[in-house]
Amino acid sequence: VTLESPRLPTFADVLDAQQQLSGIVRRTPLLSHEYLDAAAGGRVFVKAECLQRTGSFKIRGAYNRLSRLTAEQRITGVVAFSSGNHAQGVALAASLVGIQAVIVMPSDAPASKIEATRAFGAEVVLYDRATESREAVAAGIADERGALIVPPFDDPYVIAGQGTVGLELVQQLEELGLRPDVVLAAASGGGLVAGISLALGELAPDARIFAVEPALHDDHAQSLAAGEPVEVRPETSSFCDALLAPRPGDLTFAINRTRLAGALGVSDPEVAEAMAFAFRHLKVVLEPGGAVTLAAILKGRIGLAGGVGVVVASGGNVDPDVYAAAIQTGQ
């Protein structure tokens, strides 16, 4: 059973999601540092979604989706597949809504993400990334239990929920008398950056929005060049475990294709350096996938020319050993 909602979400859906999420998600702060301003040649604000409930933005889309289920759908519960952040988002959302959730996770996902997902009350089913398809495992469970599959990005409610990050950052800048000129958001399936694009298309239509991804896993750059979703070949790896979807989603790319100013790539060492920067100067914990946007700014992938830039730091769920290595070597 899959959720039937193939239409593209709109700005109105993002506004509606913000209503739905009121009292559920946190309004995460904008952080700043003189060194970032200097690196980018403008004013930089870090939208710290690592401080969001579950340690990433994913609770926004997950709750917006799960809170819309029908009475029948609530009874059979939901199934999701995720390497970790969507897993935690769905697990917490399910617990808040009061339904059962089964999460299909790769057996090599960060231990902290697996533990946290279980701690939110979800049932975790592990699969072998090398020999099994997560879609097939999830579909098997869904069929068996009559449960609904909650997609990690290619769903209008999920995209609209993630888009509330865009609404918030515009509102927070407004309180400072500012408007965004450039916004950077990490892209795996592209749901976050698509949602932000919907919000900014209406509220800050002149802002340029970039997807940021691992340089060796550049399906967004390839897809934007091709004009259609392209799957990365050969399968490449990166320690940005949250950003390894093999291709953009169909719905997300239909939005991103027309709205993004481009896609920027960063290397794993650059990401480690950004994690170390956040440790040393911002005092927030970023996971690899949550630090790609900061890396793009620190490495000058995009200049601000005196303008205002917002980098979304999308998550902070990282195992201690990976983090320790990053902050000790990445400086």
CB 21 to its own copies: min, Å: 17
Site string for its own copies, 27-46 (x = CB under 8 A): --x-x---------------
Which range, of 153-161, 217-225, 234-242, 272-280, touches its own copies by CB under 8 A? 272-280
Paired tokens of 201? 């298309």
Residue choice 134, 251, 279, 302 for contact with its own copies (CB under 8 A): 279
Of 146 and 320, nearer to its own copies (C-beta) is 320
Residue choice 276, 292, 294, 311 for contact with its own copies (CB under 8 A): 276
Distances (CA, A) of 199 to 12, 162, 170, 290: 9, 10, 9, 21
Paired tokens of 187? 């892209």
Of 210 and 323, nearer to its own copies (C-beta) is 323
Contact 301, 264 (CB under 8 A): yes
Of 49 and 219, nearer to its own copies (C-beta) is 49
d(CA 284, CA 119): 23
Based on the shown chain and the rule CB under 8 A, indicate whether residue 324 belongs to the binding site for its own copies.
yes
Q: Which residues of 233-258 are buried (b: 16+ CB within 10 A; e: fewer)?
A: eeeeebbbbbbbbebbbebbbbbbbe
Residue choice 88, 112, 197, 222 for contact with its own copies (CB under 8 A): 112
SS3 state of residue 296: helix
Based on the shown chain and the rule CB under 8 A, indicate whether residue 55 belongs to the binding site for its own copies.
yes
Paired tokens of 22? 């009121």
Based on the shown chain and the rule CB under 8 A, indicate whether residue 59 belongs to the binding site for its own copies.
no
Based on the shown chain and the rule CB under 8 A, indicate whether residue 320 belongs to the binding site for its own copies.
yes
Distances (CA, A) of 3 to 60, 135, 189, 311: 18, 14, 17, 31
Which range, of 145-153, 182-190, 197-205, 315-323, touches its own copies by CB under 8 A? 315-323
Residue choice 14, 282, 298, 302 for contact with its own copies (CB under 8 A): 282
Contact 229, 250 (CB under 8 A): yes
Q: How many residues bind its own copies (CB under 8 A)?
A: 22
Q: What angle do CA 234, 239, 245 make, to 5 degrees?
A: 50
Which range, of 8-16, 181-189, 218-226, 323-331, touches its own copies by CB under 8 A? 323-331
Based on the shown chain and the rule CB under 8 A, indicate whether residue 316 belongs to the binding site for its own copies.
yes
Reported residue count of the chain is 331
- Residue position matching structure tokens 């009559």: 146
Residue choice 285, 294, 304, 312 for contact with its own copies (CB under 8 A): 285
Based on the shown chain and the rule CB under 8 A, indicate whether residue 107 belongs to the binding site for its own copies.
no
Of 237 and 328, nearer to its own copies (C-beta) is 328
Based on the shown chain and the rule CB under 8 A, indicate whether residue 173 belongs to the binding site for its own copies.
no
Paired tokens of 219? 């399906």
- Residue position matching structure tokens 């730091």: 313
Residue choice 75, 108, 226, 280 for contact with its own copies (CB under 8 A): 280
Residue choice 14, 17, 36, 50 for contact with its own copies (CB under 8 A): 50
Contact 294, 39 (CB under 8 A): no
CB 325 to its own copies: min, Å: 8
DSSP 103-154: EEEETTS-HHHHHHHHHTT-EEEEE-TTT--HHHHHHHHHHHHTPEE--SSS
Q: Interface residues with its own copies (CB under 8 A)?
A: 29, 31, 50-51, 55, 112, 276, 279-285, 316, 320-321, 323-324, 327-328, 331
